[in-house]
Structure 1
C-alpha cells in the first residue's frame, strides 16, 4: 500500500495532476520544502504546486522508491528534468533554460496516505545550470 501511494503521488506529479497528488495526502500533511518553510495542510500544498507549475515544467525520471517494512516511512530518488518557464522570486531570471538535477524525497505514511513530504536537491547546482 505505501509503495503504491508513493508511486501514485509521483505518477500524478508527472501527469501534472495536482488533484491526484492531493488525493495521496492526509489533510494535515507536512510539506518540508528544500531551502524553505514547512507548509501544513493540503491547501498550502496545492498553492505551492500551482506556483511551481507557473514557474517550472518538470518531469521526474529514473525513479527508485524505498519503503520500510511496516509501511510507515518511504523515500524516493530520481532525476528532475525541467524547464525554467517564469522567474521565481529571488532566483535567476527565467528564459526557458533546461536543467537536469538529482533529487530525493522522504515520506511519512499514515492510514495509506502521505502525512509528510520532505524534498531535497542541490540548489547551488540548479542555479549553476540555469545561470
Structure 2
C-alpha cells in the first residue's frame, strides 16, 4: 500500500469511527503534533487522545484533498471538519451540542506502511468563535 493509500484509509476509518482500524495504521512510536499543546509520542498517548476526542466531539471530515511528494513518504490533507461539540474541555467554552464547520489540514509521514507522524492545523480562535455564538 502506498503512503497516499495508507493516509486515505486512515481518514476513511476516522469518518467511520473505526478507532481500532485507525490505530492499526500507526507506528507504535507515532509522533502526534496537535494544533496546540504538547507533542504526543507513542500509540498509548495517541489512543488516549482519540478517546478524549470521541467523548468531547462528534466529527466527520468532508471535501478531502490529498497531496503527496516524489518520495511518497509524506502526505498532506486538506479538509473541512463538520462537528458537534459534545463535552467542554478546561479553558474552552461550555459545550451544549453546538455545531461547527471548520477548515483544517494535516501533514502525515509514512514509513514501511505505518503512519509515523500526524501534524494538524486549524484556526482555534475561529473554532472558539463558532461554538461561542450558539
| Shorter-normalised TM range | over 0.9
CA distance in 1, matches of 2:29, 2:87: 29
CA distance in 1, matches of 2:117, 2:34: 11
Report what 1:98 is aligned to: 99
RMSD after superposition: 0.6
CA distance in 2, matches of 1:65, 1:88: 30
Report what 1:87 is aligned to: 88
Q: How does 1:7-86 map to 2 (within 5 A)?
A: 7-86=8-87
Number of aligned pairs?
Answer: 131
**3-state SS of the aligned residue for 1:117?**
strand
**3-state SS of the aligned residue for 2:5?**
helix
TM-score using structure 1 length: 0.98
- Structure 2, unpaired ranges of 5+: none
CA distance in 2, matches of 1:105, 1:114: 12
TM-score using structure 2 length: 0.96
How far is 1:65 from its partner?
Answer: 0.7
How far is 1:77 from its partner?
Answer: 0.1
How far is 1:70 from its partner?
Answer: 1.4
Report what 2:111 is aligned to: 110
